[in-house]
Structure 1
Amino acid sequence: MVEVYRFFGLESSTSMILVAIALVTFVVLYNLLLRRNEHPAKNLPNGYLGLPVIGESWSHLRAMRRNRGADWVNERVAKYGHIFKTSLMGCPTVVVTGQAGNKFVLSTDEVALTMKQPVSVTRIVGRHNIFDLNGNRYKRVKGAMMSFLKPESLQEYIGIMDDFVKTNLLVKIKGKDTIKVVPLLKDLTFDVSCSLLFGLYDKPTKEALFQDLALVLKGVWSIPVNFPGTIFWRALRARSRVDRRVLPIIRKRKDLLEEGVVRAKSDIISSLITLRDENQQPITEEEIMDNIVALILASHDTTTSLLSLMVWKLAKDLKLQQNIRQEHMEILRERQGMQGLLSWTEVQKMKCTWRAAQEMLRLIPILFGNSRKALRDTSFAGYDIPKG
């Protein structure tokens, strides 16, 4: 006990010096190994890899939280050019920007570049999530999702969605003089996603999932250090709780499918349960869970962002607000006073609304970027991008 006390107390200055020496030694060795393995014969992009493991993740995440992600990129573009190297979420990374960069990343075949998310995303969302799949497995999972999400299928849900949104929106704003748009839309879109896409209607379950998936979302863009108290650690624990809540629902849905109570296209969970691999075997519960979590995160956060941007734009641009209002009032007039739910035909008439949404996506993209992994040595804009 005395020795322990001396180590943490009386001899703390000596301890700190030893820790500092160990850290400096680690950094020096890391950088030496990094330079040794940095493909000296190759013409790598300019840039800065930052600290070991951490890289430039802290500055990147800080910029993203302050809604200055574009500034973070532009500062490095100004310093290094439209292609630069860095290290994010534990991964040495080459960042390419601009139209040519987008075309390179999105059009290069899977033999050279394949879908791959940062370590933090894969660890938390799961290695079977659709954003980490490629080849036939990716096509099958995407096909199962699109069989439910394609316009022909969504037509059946327009009226249900209209009633659901109006009812829930009125409940959430009742008795309030002012509302905070982003929290309101986060809550509303999550409610819609859970109920209509996944067939999850139990209110306590949805509220618990909302809290845990908020932690998961924070963790997927964090430094992947699984140490008690870190965001990554909390996100992993939240993901475990999500599994414990959703797995019984998946198993219950399997029973209902076998009994013929629900159809394969009733919701996305049912669609994934009925999916078969190349050997005509059902995919595993782990694969189903990973893709449920991935789709909830993707659909919920992106929808919230676009709707929030639309509200912001309409509040600033009164002419656009008037044009969209006129478009919707015209749809109501064509009903000739008859009450009813929104129809697919009426949605197709919302051309000004749709163009405004597309323009917001063009001006302020709701996704920071798209991740790929180099499966072989490749090049872009005169620079080499090594395998891995």
Structure 2
Amino acid sequence: MESTTILLWVLSFVPLVILMIKKKRIGERRVPPGSFGIPLIGQTLELSKAMRSDTAEEWLQQRARKYGPISKMSIFGKPTVFLTGQAYNKFVFSSDGKTLSSKQPASVSRLMGEKNLFQTIGEDHRRLRGAILSFLKPEALKQYVGMMDNEIRLHLAQHWHPDHVEPLMKTLTFNMICTLMFGIERGERRETFVRLFKEVIEGTFVAPINLPFTRFNRSIRARSEVGAIIREVIREKRAKLEKGEKGHDLITSLLSMCDEDGLPLLSDQEIEDNCTVTMVAGYDTTSGLLTYLVKLIAEHPNVYQLLLKEQEEIAGGKKEASDPLTWEDIGKMKYTWRTGTEALRMYPPILFVFKTALQDIEVGGYVIPKGWQVLWTTCITHLDGSIYPDPHKFNPSRFEDQAAMPPHTFIPFGGGARLCPGNEFARIETLAMIHYLVTRFTWKLCLEENTVSREPMPVFKQGLPIRLNSREPYKA
């Protein structure tokens, strides 16, 4: 009798066990295909290695060919869904704060700050974005074109005797940000600032292991010193405002903003974190674009001639050669910006961005479980031959009618509500610098092969050495 009872209990549990296994298998089938790789490490080391060798695009493309446009992996020890393609770009850009969070990996979050624009959602994101856009929107930037022009001329006079392009472009973009964004004068503090920021950037795509002598630990300590400098600048700007002195930099602009009740719109921590992310976003991205443009223009003499023709027409409209560029001049640089746009398509400064699923999300016939990371890319879309024929060919003419391009296919600055607010600042800076380069110089590359590493932004290992020759000044 006892054995019969035990048998009945066992038999009664069999259907339940079968049901649980079946549900588990169904769940497994609904999770995207792929592999989590090595426990705890996953594909982090593989991706890091590919980035250092500038083969991350190929590595990601191989995964997309193997598993499809949506697959699973593990990055930084977290389950991650890798998305690629126009349809998934639209999904990411249209997702609200209830489905996808912009919370970044621990290394990025710790270094950029919890209150930075790229990580906040909902009302906080709208408030921060609105505040930054009030300084960076085109209407406001019109008055800064002359200041940019002056900064570029000063840079050319002091530094432009190059044998290596990339370090000089980084010097330009750093000084531009310090002058227009932070209002930090040249001197020892500015030099300390750039040294510390380089150390911060080095830790943004490494394992977040905060132990002595690790790269992440060095970046954490550098970020602490950066924060101290920014807080010092905030105190100085606030004291000037209290005295009635006006400023034309981003920090002063943010300090001046108040809500409906007359209270400060942003906290000091929000200003500090967003100054940090502004520097990181603007320092390597624009300098990288300008460096690639110098390389591409040297490799395509026909492009140089078309650029020269456009820029000499602008220079010819000046009364004096010393007259600065104007907002109207920037608007005439149509072909020049097509050249910059094509460079951004081929070599986007940021290859991918992480988000986090806030709930179970059904997409593409699969489920992205709550808490999993979502990784979407720019590079695979930009190199899709069905969108951009002969995608590895440098061809600025493909952007003659950019409005006719399918949506969500050109995304170097992100998209939707997450479109980078500094894209117009970068465009003006790039156009102004190219104007002076092509009208004042010709150049040739010193090396046939200029190797690049991503750390996580592109870095030319040899600095892109060139042979530079001055041109005769343009005469109308």
TM-score under structure 1 length normalisation: 0.85
- 1:53-132 equivalences under 5 Å are 53-132=40-119
Distance 1:299 1:217 in 2: 12
- Residue matched to 2:146: 159
Find the partner of 1:267 among 244, 249, 253.
249
Distance 1:338 1:349 in 2: 18
Asked whether 1:203 is paired with 2:150, we answer no
DSSP 3-state at the match of 1:131: coil
Equivalent residues of 1:91, 1:119 under 8 A apart: no
Distance 2:34 2:218 in 1: 32
Equivalent residues of 1:83, 1:95 under 8 A apart: yes
Letter in 2 for 1:354: W
Equivalent residues of 1:90, 1:119 under 8 A apart: no
Cα distance, 1:322 vs structure 2 = 0.3
Cα distance, 1:73 vs structure 2 = 0.5
DSSP 3-state at the match of 2:93: helix
Letter in 2 for 1:50: G
Distance 1:215 1:355, change over 3 A: same
Distance 1:337 1:267, change over 3 A: closer
Equivalent residues of 2:43, 2:75 under 8 A apart: yes
Distance 1:47 1:225 in 2: 26
Letter in 2 for 1:272: L
- Residue matched to 2:228: 244
Find the partner of 2:288 among 294, 305, 322.
305
Cα distance, 1:42 vs structure 2 = 6.1
Letter in 1 for 2:342: E
- Residue matched to 1:296: 279
DSSP 3-state at the match of 1:217: helix
Cα distance, 1:67 vs structure 2 = 1.5
Distance 1:50 1:279 in 2: 53
- Residue matched to 1:364: 347
Distance 1:273 1:352, change over 3 A: same
Cα distance, 1:276 vs structure 2 = 4.4
Distance 1:38 1:189 in 2: 53
DSSP 3-state at the match of 2:172: helix
Cα distance, 1:166 vs structure 2 = 1.2
Cα distance, 1:50 vs structure 2 = 2.9
- Residue matched to 2:36: 49
- Residue matched to 1:15: none
Equivalent residues of 1:250, 1:269 under 8 A apart: yes
Letter in 1 for 2:246: V
Equivalent residues of 1:49, 1:55 under 8 A apart: yes
Q: Which moved more, 1:283-292 or 1:95-104?
A: 283-292
Equivalent residues of 2:196, 2:226 under 8 A apart: yes
Q: Percent identity?
A: 38
| 1:315-362 deviation digits (Å, cap 9, x = unpaired) | 111111100011111111122555311111111111110111112222
- Residue matched to 2:298: 315
Distance 1:85 1:191, change over 3 A: same
Equivalent residues of 2:180, 2:250 under 8 A apart: no
Letter in 2 for 1:213: F
Distance 2:200 2:25 in 1: 33
- Residue matched to 2:417: none
Give the aligned length.
347
Equivalent residues of 1:54, 1:89 under 8 A apart: yes
DSSP 3-state at the match of 2:237: helix
CA RMSD of aligned residues (A): 2.0
Equivalent residues of 1:140, 1:277 under 8 A apart: no
Equivalent residues of 1:89, 1:120 under 8 A apart: no
DSSP 3-state at the match of 2:209: coil
Equivalent residues of 1:84, 1:94 under 8 A apart: yes
Distance 1:342 1:204 in 2: 30
Equivalent residues of 1:219, 1:231 under 8 A apart: yes
Find the partner of 1:355 among 338, 351, 354.
338
- Residue matched to 2:156: 169
Distance 1:179 1:310 in 2: 16
- 1:132-151 equivalences under 5 Å are 132-151=119-138
- Residue matched to 2:407: none
Distance 1:271 1:52 in 2: 47
Equivalent residues of 1:130, 1:141 under 8 A apart: yes
TM-score under structure 2 length normalisation: 0.69
Asked whether 1:193 is paired with 2:177, we answer yes
Equivalent residues of 1:141, 1:272 under 8 A apart: no
Distance 1:41 1:80, change over 3 A: closer
Distance 1:319 1:87 in 2: 45
Equivalent residues of 1:90, 1:223 under 8 A apart: no
Equivalent residues of 2:297, 2:303 under 8 A apart: yes
- Residue matched to 1:25: none
List alignment gaps of at least 5 residues for structure 1: 1-36
Distance 1:87 1:102 in 2: 20
Cα distance, 1:110 vs structure 2 = 2.3
DSSP 3-state at the match of 2:279: helix
Q: Which moved more, 1:185-194 or 1:82-91?
A: 82-91
Equivalent residues of 2:179, 2:249 under 8 A apart: no
Equivalent residues of 1:137, 1:277 under 8 A apart: no
List alignment gaps of at least 5 residues for structure 2: 1-23, 372-476
Distance 1:186 1:169, change over 3 A: same
Asked whether 1:382 is paired with 2:365, we answer yes
Distance 1:41 1:90 in 2: 19
Cα distance, 1:102 vs structure 2 = 1.0
Letter in 2 for 1:274: S
**Greater helix share, 1 or 2?**
1
The one of the two structures with greater contact order (alpha-carbon pairs below 8 A, sep at least 6) is 2
